[in-house]
Structure 1
Amino acid sequence: MALLDVLLEYPLTTLFVLSTGLLFSRCIYHLAFHPIAHIPGPFLAKITSLWLYYHAYIGDEATIIHKAHTEYGPYVRVSPNEVDISDADAMAPIYVSKGGFLKAPCYANFDIDGHKTIFSATDVEHRARRAKAVVPMFSTKSIRENEAALYGCADRMVDRMEEEARTGRPVNILNIARSLAVDAVSTHLFQENYNGTSEKGPRLSVSAFVDAFVAVGRFFYLPTKVFIWLEWTIEKCMPDEHTATSMEVVDKFVDNLVDQTPAGSSSYPGRLIPLVERLEVKAQCKDLIFAGTDSTGMNFATLCRQMALNPDKYEVLRKEILDNANAGEKKQDVQALPYLSAVVRESLRISMANPTRLPHVVPDSGWTFKGTNFPAGTIVGCSAHELHFNEEVFPDPFSFYPERWLQENPEATKAFFAFGAGSRACIARNLATFELYMGAERLVERDVLRGARACQEKVEIYEWFNSSVKGEKIELVWEKPRV
């Protein structure tokens, strides 16, 4: 009774003591009794998700987790119920075998306009019905049939780069690479060219739209209800006129596209219209514009920059491409050229378009990997940053060295994670890869990159789910303007 009297007499003190006790008990549970308490990791990461939220927000998640791996080994606990795995052997059970584990709930934060996209959907049946309708468009056969139109996009991109190179001013090749990407996606999948390569402004009209979705990655791991509230608050309290204008441009393009597409059309929206309402079709199209423009733009800009930084490798590539162009009946398909293939693969390895972990959920049966148990419900995943910069697999991993791909290297092939893996790998990976091949082929044939010099000593990124280049520029300059 005396204790109760004391508690009632000092309610604030009582509240503080009880809250502190509860917090302390929760910390003890996470450190000693949680089902994954046996997984090592930073102290704060073990007791609170705020550690992961913070590093995701400031954009150093991949780097800070890499440092943790050097200290703790291949398994690092990055929040009370999440583990980052640096072992490439884990990719098969997590992403490939029997369809892999289900995506983590946080993928819902990439829903568009309230609709789950082919990328963000966690429900297998929901995704499968939509993916089945459009996946033929991403086949090698479909891309080959539309090759002339796609090469037209590459040729216009080269024209634009040549035009800007003549000015003698720094050229933002990230902007130009994005223009090729959005034109290729729209031309092939929508059968209507966005025509980004014709834009003469300093920034592509679609870029602010893309960057707005990239910025979602700052909050990727947040519970979806918290994310929705935070997104609404930012939109209301910190409106951005440039982003709003870009959103309007993309909305208008997509609205016109979908509204004018008849059911039964062979285009991407035409294949979806019989299955879902048109509002969802528009969301799916916007998702394609975002993902296709951002990732491929980053990858192709990286390729161009590395060719400028490594003129000796550029000469090897140019000789191979020109020899093939003049080979007559012996001319090979561009994707069969060994050095070009190595350049494309190495560019994808180091570009870090998607550097962070792809989180999936351990199924009800649990999972034991190399003697370590991961209970049901644990969120696990691998990251491109950790796999692609593994020194044991890729010696001198931060250097651009295409030659590493010219010899058979099963370990390197196994660790390659540029498009994810398994049934939930990037649905557009064939198209994205072809864009890199044809863009590089056209640039090299016309020798556009000769004399180009990289302006930045280092390209720094925010390590969000989709990386964001700090300053939004990857620049080259031609010291002797082309004529």
Structure 2
Amino acid sequence: MTDPKQHATRRRLFAQPFSNSCITTFEPPIRRKVDLAVSKIRRDAEQGSADILKWFTFMATDVAGELSFGTSFDMLQHEQKSPYIRDLETAMMISGIRSELQPLLKLASYLPLRSLRHALAINERLNSYGHEAIQNHKAHVAAKQGPVATSLFSKFLDPKKNQELSDAEIEQEASNLIVAGSDTTAVSLTYLIWAVLRPDNSHIRERLMNEISTLPLDARGSDLGSLQYLKAVVDEALRLYGAAPGSLPRVVPIAGTILGPYHIPGDVTVSTQAFTIHRDPNIFRNPERFDPSRWENPTQEMKDAFSPFGAGSRTCIGIHLAMLELLLGTFLFFKRCPTAVLSPTTTNESMEFENYFLIVPKSHRCEIQLRQA
């Protein structure tokens, strides 16, 4: 929504469902998904190697599906990508191309190529998935037969409580959450694990392992908040490997504004990008170095520049959900796979960024193994 008043009104509607206290109530189903993903990773690694990017993508998408629609996509159980996931991946690529090459993509839409038209119709298909899921969940809520699964959108599906959003708007918001909350979390968690497992970061791994050993395997998400180094590792991964490091456009109000020493005319689009800001050597010492300890005593400049979830009134509303998944995912992975090492197939070159708005390793894999005792 480009209109600030419309956006503020919509954001207020979702402020309570996406608050930290509300997200905490969803911890049990989230933890089950994270647990299952780590179990599959350990199983595969015991048999040879495990692709953590694959399993974390299934995990994050299942979580987003359950919290959006009240039902999981069950990617973890089926152990394969559904048509929805394949469409989601295409949508991410197209959105990146669209943001940079909108005129070219518009011209391409007139080409009589079936495969191209199929790809460009991606949003309609994603919305159709959302429509079906929301209608099923709405019917389940209305019937009240047996325990009713709750979701972040449950209150909007009860006509006695919802006077604000139409079914179409609910479906759109739910579909948006799936798009925004799946690959993003999976990619950042994958890069975090990769960074910690790199041989030159063995001191980071040792310190992290020592800290998480102070809590039992069934520690709650709120308990993880006491692990300061774990939080620092997550923040450092988000600084260097936040999933959306590219340009985030904003339109200057008609009256214009002052940015630093510059006057920017009204109706001009300006952008910031976390990739550049997070690597500013004037703010972050040795910016290319993965160094969680920098967050133990961060400067105010570091705090102000840190924006993996955006900034201001448009900050990602799913920040609490993402942080819970990242903390739980890191904690449970190193608890259950303490001897994990990178596979020979996982190299610095294979983990270079491929960037279509969201980053992903150019190999589209990140394999680990378990070191023999």
TM range (shorter): 0.7 to 0.9
1:467 matched to 2:359: yes
Out of 388, 393, 418, the position equivalent to 2:308 is 418
User: Which residue identity lines up with residue 232 of structure 1 in the other structure?
Assistant: S
- 1:148 is aligned to 2:28: yes
- Quick one: which of 138, 144, 152 aligns to 1:268? 152
Counterpart of 2:210 in structure 1 is 319
SS at 1:148 equivalent: helix
Aligned partner of residue 238 in structure 1, secondary structure:
helix
Is the contact between residue 134 and residue 271 of structure 1 (CA under 8 Å) also seen in structure 2? no
Q: Which residue of 2 aligns with 1:135?
A: 15
| Residues 276/245 of structure 1: CA separation in 2 closer, same or farther (3 Å cut) | closer
SS in 2 for 1:382: strand
Letter in 2 for 1:180: M
Q: Which amino acid aligns with 1:409?
A: T
Residue 308 of structure 1 contacts residue 452 of structure 1 at CA under 8 Å; is this kept in 2?
yes
Where do 5+ consecutive residues of structure 1 fail to align?
Answer: 1-120
| Residue 383 of structure 1: aligned partner | 273
CA contact (8 A) 2:217 2:335 kept: no
5 Å matches for 1:289-368?
289-309=178-198, 310-325=201-216, 333-368=223-258
Matches of 1:238 and 1:134, distance apart in 2: 37
Q: Deviation at 1:302?
A: 0.8
- Measured against aligned partners, the alpha-carbon deviations of 1:443-482 in whole angstroms (never above 9, x if no partner) come to 1221355234461223222333222432322x22316479
Is the 1:307–1:313 contact (alpha carbons within 8 Å) kept by the matching residues of 2? yes
Partner of 2:325: 435
Name the CA shift for 1:257/1:449 in 2 (closer, same or farther; >3 Å).
Answer: farther
Give the 3-state SS of the residue equivalent to 2:12 in structure 1.
helix
Q: Determine the structure 2 residue equivalent to 1:232.
A: 109
How far apart, in 2, do the equivalents of 1:160 and 1:382 lie?
Answer: 38
- Cα displacement string for residues 346-401 of structure 1 (whole angstroms, at most 9, x for unaligned residues): 11111141121211122222222333222222222211011111112122212211
Distance in 1 (CA, whole Å) between partners of 2:29 and 2:66 is 7
SS at match of 2:340: coil
2:367 corresponds in structure 1 to: 476
Out of 41, 51, 55, the position equivalent to 1:176 is 55
Relative to the length of structure 1, the TM-score reads 0.66
Q: Provide closer, same or farther for how the CA distance between residues 332 and 373 of structure 1 changes in structure 2, counting only shifts above 3 A.
A: closer
Q: 1:444 to 1:471 in 2, by over 3 A?
A: closer
**What SS does the corresponding residue of 2:38 show, helix, strand or coil?**
helix
- Matched to 1:255, the amino acid is H
1:109 counterpart residue number: none
| Pair 1:401 & 2:291 matched | yes
- The one-letter code of the counterpart of 1:470 is K
Whole-Å separation in 2 of the counterparts to 1:361 and 1:379: 4
1:162 aligns with 2:42: yes
SS in 2 for 1:138: coil
Match of 2:147 in 1: none
**Is the Cα–Cα contact under 8 Å of residues 339 and 371 in structure 2 kept in the other structure?**
no
Q: CA deviation at 1:334?
A: 0.4
2:113 is the alignment partner of 1:208: no
> Which residue of structure 2 aligns with residue 50 of structure 1?
none
Match of 1:185 in 2: 64
- Describe the SS at the equivalent of 2:368: strand
**Is 1:305–1:476's contact at 8 Å kept on the other side of the alignment?**
no
- Following superposition, the deviation at residue 140 of structure 1 comes to 1.0
2:41–2:51 contact (8 Å) kept in structure 1: no
Larger Cα-atom Rg = 1
Say if 2:97 and 2:105, in contact at 8 Å, map to a contact too: no
CA distance in 2, matches of 1:372, 1:307: 41
CA drift at 1:154? 1.0
Contact 2:35-2:332 within 8 A present in 1 as well: yes
Q: Distance in 1 between matches of 2:110 and 2:173?
A: 25
Give, in angstroms, the shift of residue 208 of structure 1: 2.1
Conserved? CA contact 2:52–2:368, under 8 Å: no
Quick check: 1:125 aligned with 2:5? yes
Aligned to 1:195: 74
Shift of the 243–440 alpha-carbon distance from structure 1 to 2, 3 Å rule, reads farther
Identity %: 24
Equivalent AA in structure 1 for residue 348 of structure 2? E
Structure 1 CA distance for aligned equivalents of residues 218 and 87 of structure 2 = 43
Secondary structure at the counterpart of residue 472 of structure 1: coil
Q: Structure 1 residue 253: deviation in Å?
A: 4.9
What per-residue deviation string (whole Å, max 9, x for no partner) do you get for residues 106-126 of structure 1? xxxxxxxxxxxxxxx112233
Tell me which amino acid in the other structure corresponds to 1:318.
M
Q: Secondary structure at the match of 1:467?
A: strand
Cα distance in 1 for residues equivalent to 2:67 and 2:127: 19
CA contact (8 A) 2:248 2:272 kept: yes
Shift of 1:291: 1.1
Once residues 32 and 43 of structure 2 are traced to their aligned partners in structure 1, the CA distance between those partners, rounded to angstroms, is: 17
- State the alpha-carbon separation in 2 of the partners of residues 323 and 313 from structure 1: 16
For 1:153-190, what per-residue CA distance to the aligned partner results, in whole angstroms no more than 9, with x for missing partners? 11101111111112214x32221111121122223343
Written as runs of structure 1 = structure 2, the 5 A alignment for 1:66-85 is none
**Rounded Cα–Cα distance in structure 2 between residues aligned with 1:418 and 1:305:** 18
